[in-house]
Amino acid sequence: MKYIIANWKMNLGIRESVALARGTLHALQGKEKVPEVVVCPSFTALAEVRKTLSRTRMFLGAQNVGPGRAGAFTGEVGVSQLEDIGCTFAIVGHSERRSLGETDSTIGKKLAGLYETGNITPILCVGESKDVRDAGEAEKFVKKELKDALSGLKIGRRRKLLIAYEPLWAIGTGKPASVLEIVPMQEMIRKVVTDITGVDGADLAVLYGGSVDTENAYGFLREPSIDGLLVGGASLKIHDIHAIIESACEVMTAQESL
Ligand code: 13P
């Protein structure tokens, strides 16, 4: 299985979000073998986008989640509320949130809340800055992020975990990481996550994110160790997200016939 996660970030009103969700949905029409496509609108548009997605093969994700199921957390949206609105995925620890002050301890609480009950799969984001990569410390840094977020976490049987490797220097820069940089990182992530959590096989997916576009998506997706893509800017353009989903369909069909 390949995943395409569309992170629309702090963009689009309700009507535009519904239109983009409908447009994205068209990319799946008439296809037999399709990736798991998840759209992540802003909280304000979740309810309306949910209606568009009902009885389709596309899933709804949140860009963030509060630190627990419910309670006295002004301005946060908790796990129960995301379940209520029909989310089955939630992005946790995106670097844009970490840069606003989100700490490892908060990320740990969010993950614990998501695994407490219910049915929302976390998409945990990790990735190093340019300075860290230039210093040759990228793997060490990402390993620490994984340990800090996942140690002690109780993940029930048959629950899934998605990790997105998103190097900070590749996000929104037009300069994606290369396959040669991504693949060893993906392999390390898979091993470390399995060692810490026991989650393995089809329950664990390791994605890449950072300046994914129509030109580079196929090259990433055909790598067996890259289970999918977390797409920012390109997911807001209907032609681009279609082409990216199309690449995933092609790769999945080609791999099936091997
Ligand atoms: P871009 O695809 O715009 O680089 O954003 C990546 C990202 O942050 C997705 O979560």
Active site residue 166: yes
Give the pLDDT mean for 165-179.
98
Using the predicted structure, report yes or no on whether residue 150 has a pLDDT greater than 80. yes
Looking at residue 157, what is its pLDDT? 86
Q: How many CB atoms lie within 10 A of CB 119?
A: 11
| Ligand 1 atom, smallest distance to 125 CA | 10
Using the predicted structure, report yes or no on whether residue 258 has a pLDDT greater than 70. no
Q: Where are the alpha helices (DSSP H) in 67-125?
A: 79-85, 95-98, 104-116
What whole-number distance in Å separates Cα of residue 117 and Cα of residue 247?
A: 34
Confidence band for 117, pLDDT divided at 50, 70 and 90 = confident
pTM over the 0.85 mark: yes
Q: Which of 16, 26, 94, 242 is catalytic?
A: 94
Using the predicted structure, report yes or no on whether residue 118 has a pLDDT greater than 90. no
Which class for 243: exposed (0-12), middle (13-18), buried (19 or more C-beta within 10 A)? middle
Give the pLDDT mean for 105-112.
95
| Ligand 1 atom, smallest distance to 211 CA | 4
Looking at residue 156, what is its pLDDT? 87
In the reported structure, the alpha carbon of residue 112 is separated from the centroid of ligand 1 by a whole-number distance in angstroms of 25
Using the predicted structure, report yes or no on whether residue 138 has a pLDDT greater than 70. yes
In the reported structure, the alpha carbon of residue 96 is separated from the centroid of ligand 1 by a whole-number distance in angstroms of 10
- Encode pLDDT of 23-48 as tens digits: 999 999 999 899 999 999 999 999 99
- Encode pLDDT of 47-76 as tens digits: 999 999 999 999 999 999 999 889 999 999
124 lines ligand 1 (CB under 6 A): no
209 lines ligand 1 (CB under 6 A): yes
Using the predicted structure, report yes or no on whether residue 256 has a pLDDT greater than 70. yes
Active site residue 26: no
Which domains are assigned to the chain? 3-256 (3.20.20.70)
| Ligand 1 atom, smallest distance to 233 CA | 3
Give the pLDDT mean for 78-105.
96
CB 148 within 8 A of CB 168: no
Looking at residue 10, what is its pLDDT? 98
CB 120 within 8 A of CB 160: no
| Ligand 1 atom, smallest distance to 164 CA | 10
Looking at residue 255, what is its pLDDT? 85
235 lines ligand 1 (CB under 6 A): no
In the reported structure, the alpha carbon of residue 238 is separated from the centroid of ligand 1 by a whole-number distance in angstroms of 16
CB 37 within 8 A of CB 6: yes
- Encode pLDDT of 181-207 as tens digits: 999 999 999 999 999 999 999 999 999
232 lines ligand 1 (CB under 6 A): yes
Q: Which of 48, 137, 166, 250 is catalytic?
A: 166
